[in-house]
Amino acid sequence: MAERKRRKLKLLAETINLDEKKATEEEESLKLQTWADLPVELLELILCRLTLEDNVRASAVCRRWHKVAVAVRVVNQSPWLMYFPKYGSLYEFYDPAERKTYSLELPELQGSRACYTKDGWLLLYRPRNHGVFFFNPFNRHMIKLPRFELTYQMVAFSDAPTSDLCVVFTIKHISPTIVAISTCRPGDSEWTTVNHQNRLPFVSSIWNKMVFCSGMFYCLSLTGWLGVYDPLLRAWSVLHVPPPRCPENFFAKNWWKGKFMAEHDGDILVIYTCNTETPIIFKLDHSEMVWEEMQTLNGVTLFASFLSSHSRTELPGAMRNVVYFSKVRFFGKRCISYSVDDRRYYPRKECHDWGEQDPFENIWIEPPRDASLN
């Protein structure tokens, strides 16, 4: 009897010791947990708010942090949407990454309208006196060009006007088979205009669909034909590339206004939209000379506006594989965008009839990395 009691007491003591050991191990395990053990979701929320310099430092903590830090790292800055006022000289800039709006007095721009943007520079036109000039709103520098009447031309430029490579290019159809191409460089005393014959029809529009890519200007006609101009050889041609194929319901009211064109890393991209329909994104296959429909943007972000569109990589995770349009809803708090991954607009059902919008109302512009308009 006594022996049995001793065995029970011994077993009870062993059980208590085992429980205490487990508790101690769990306590020690909790003590050993570090910041490196944070859940991935929480880690992403923290690291995506760091500056680039702090993000790089955080990525050196451990392999796990390195993977998350690289995934949310922001190397590029997104373009800002610049608004042209109907009256006065107060211009607004909307930052889609921060969802903030800045204001800037720019009396130098009164009476002008935007034509194109690149590398932080605006190309502008004053209809009253046919003045054409470059302007950088972030440093207030202005570079004037010879006077030129810009009526229904498509307009673009190749490089920043401070570069020796800068060429301003305009094109206007005279007939479906003849276009007038005018070019000018900063420092020139006049524009050079030459008429070119087309083998295929090309009808231009002020709703710019033009990019400079790999030394060439690419222009999309009203009906989807692709023209190419070589500024070095001064050669023009319309490529034998059938226009992008779209569903019949895309050809509705104002269908030509819902098209946008961008360039990314040597690729020519075209975005077709139509009211509530899902946007279709095409990429030009240079080898086969056909337009291919894209199912993913592979991490690229597109910023589409009538007069010029831009592409970016290395933006915050939520901004990747997204097309941002030049329309802001909810009192300036959110851009209309389309997620290629989710296959839906944000905010939901906030697609836009581009026929309602003035093409000169706003334009995407690339701010300098240290831009601050506060």
Q: Two tokens at 96?
A: 């889609």
Could you tell me if 223 and 263 are in contact, meaning their C-beta atoms sit under 8 angstroms apart?
A: no
DSSP string over 296-351:
--TT-EEEE-SS--EEE-S--GGGTTEEEEEEEETTTTEEEEEETTTTEEESTT--
Q: Give the SS3 label for residue 14.
A: helix
**For residue 11, what pLDDT is reported?**
64
Asked whether the whole model's pTM tops 0.75, one would answer yes
Sign of torsion over alpha carbons 199, 204, 209, 213: positive
**For residue 359, what pLDDT is reported?**
82
Q: Two tokens at 341?
A: 């991954």
One digit per residue, the tens of pLDDT, for the chain of length 374 reads 566 666 665 665 566 666 666 666 555 555 556 666 778 888 888 877 776 667 777 887 888 888 887 777 766 789 999 999 988 999 999 999 888 899 999 999 999 999 999 999 999 999 999 999 999 999 999 999 999 998 878 899 999 999 999 999 999 999 999 999 999 999 999 999 999 999 888 988 767 689 999 999 999 998 889 999 999 999 999 999 999 887 776 665 556 678 899 999 999 999 988 777 788 999 999 999 999 999 999 999 999 998 999 999 888 778 999 999 998 876 556 788 999 999 998 887 666 667 677 888 899 999 987 666 65
Q: Which domains are present in the chain?
A: 37-74 (1.20.1280), 111-242 (2.120.10.80), 244-359 (no CATH)
Please list, in sequence order, all residues whose beta carbon lies within 8 angstroms of the beta carbon of residue 136, skipping any fewer than 6 positions away.
120, 121, 122, 142
**For residue 186, what pLDDT is reported?**
97
Q: Give the SS3 label for residue 101.
A: strand
**For residue 12, what pLDDT is reported?**
59
Residues 250, 154, 231, 267: what is their CA dihedral angle, to the nearest 10 degrees?
-30
Q: Give the SS3 label for residue 170.
A: strand
**For residue 374, what pLDDT is reported?**
57
Could you tell me the CA-to-CA distances from 4 to 8, 15, 55 in Å, in that order?
6, 17, 65
CB atoms within 10 A of CB 191: 17
Q: Two tokens at 356?
A: 């309602």
CA atoms within a 13 Å half-sphere pointing along the CA-CB vector of 190: 2
**For residue 16, what pLDDT is reported?**
60
Q: Which of 108, 136, 111 is nearest to 122 (CA)?
A: 136
Helix (H) or strand (E) holding 5: helix 2-32
**For residue 43, what pLDDT is reported?**
82
